[in-house]
């Protein structure tokens, strides 16, 4: 991460998942990284449960004690399957409880991360706050329908990112706050839906995403970018 200062502090949330673990490993291998703090429901440096605000608040407090300010935060959480069920293929398959769960994990959880972790971003230097979204959350790019709860929750996430970026920019004008489309990655989440798409390994996706983040300027804050650096339509 050449755009961040030498000895930068990094936080990876969802660090035990396929993409999250690969991102954490790539950041940890960066000689410019000073300290990295991994957060996950289990297996990280500290516990964080997105569905429990007290847990998020405690994790932010513990992170501040360990690192102080955060130069790079990447949220690699998200869910596609709810209670073992895949995405809906038709309106008739909508289940209110499953939809609420999708919003809880894919939108409300990341919103709580912004609430409790954004204050840890430095005011006077470059910082990056990124969260994994999905191209399927794009309203303008939706041409085939289906996957209603997942699409809607990821679209909500993009609005949260946009709104958060405005507030964060007032406090930390050099900060970049974006959502990222990682492409189709060989993980348990996406494996059943790969089809004929090009598929990246977690390591390949992580390298591409970090490269995109490294090149983004504050003028591009608030939007979603794909693994190839192109902006995803709203």
Q: Closest Cα to residue 12, out of 188, 187, 210?
A: 210
Instruction: Give the end-to-end CA distance of the chain in Å, rounded to a whole number.
Output: 27
Whether 23 and 12 have beta carbons less than 8 Å apart is answered as: yes
Percentage of the chain lying above the pLDDT 70 cut: 96
Q: How far apart are CA 183 and CA 220, in angstroms?
A: 20
Region 8-226: CATH code: 3.40.50.720
Q: How confident is the model at residue 196 (pLDDT cuts 50, 70, 90)?
A: low
CA angle, 166 then 167 then 168, to 5°:
95
Q: What is the pLDDT, as a whole number, of residue 193? A: 57
Q: How far apart are CA 137 and CA 147, in angstroms?
A: 10
**Residue 12: helix, strand or coil by DSSP?**
strand
Q: What is the pLDDT of residues 94-103, one digit of tens each?
A: 999 999 999 9
Q: What does DSSP say about strands 72-75 and 127-132: parallel, antiparallel, or unpaired?
A: parallel
Residue 38, number of CB atoms within 10 A of its CB: 22
Q: How far apart are CA 90 and CA 71, in angstroms?
A: 42
- Per domain, the residue ranges of the chain are 8-226
**Residue 74: helix, strand or coil by DSSP?**
strand
Residue linked to tokens 């598929």: 199
**Strand-pair partners of 13:** 39, 75
Q: What is the mean pLDDT of the chain?
A: 93
* CA 206 vs CA 8, 19, 74: distances in Å: 18, 6, 11
Q: What is the pLDDT of residues 108-164, one digit of tens each?
A: 999 999 999 999 999 999 999 999 999 999 998 888 999 999 999 999 999 999 999
Residues 6+ apart with CB under 8 A from 148: 87, 88, 91, 94, 99
**Global confidence as pTM:** 0.93
**Strand-pair partners of 130:** 74, 178
């Amino acid at each position: 991460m050449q755009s961040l200062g030498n000895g930068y502090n990094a936080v990876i949330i969802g660090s035990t998942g396929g993409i999250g673990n690969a991102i954490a490993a790539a950041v940890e291998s960066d000689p410019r990284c000073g300290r990295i703090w991994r957060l996950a429901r289990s297996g990280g440096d500290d516990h964080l449960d997105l569905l429990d605000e007290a847990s998020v608040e405690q994790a932010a407090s513990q992170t501040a004690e360990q690192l102080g300010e955060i130069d790079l935060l990447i949220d690699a959480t998200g869910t596609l399957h709810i209670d073992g069920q895949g995405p809906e293929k038709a309106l008739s398959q909508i289940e209110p409880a499953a939809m609420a769960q999708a919003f809880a994990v894919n939108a409300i959880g990341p919103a709580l991360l912004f609430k409790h972790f954004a204050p840890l971003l430095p005011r006077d230097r470059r910082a990056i706050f990124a969260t994994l979204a999905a191209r399927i959350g794009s309203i303008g790019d939706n041409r085939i329908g289906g996957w209603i709860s997942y699409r809607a929750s990821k679209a909500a996430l993009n609005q949260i990112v946009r709104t958060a970026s405005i507030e964060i920019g007032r406090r930390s004008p050099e900060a970049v706050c974006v959502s990222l489309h990682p492409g189709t990655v060989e993980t348990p989440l996406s494996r059943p839906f790969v089809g004929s798409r090009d598929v990246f390994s977690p390591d390949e996706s992580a390298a591409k995403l970090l490269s995109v983040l490294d090149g983004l300027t504050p003028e591009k804050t608030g939007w979603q970018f794909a693994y190839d650096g192109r902006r995803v339509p709203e």
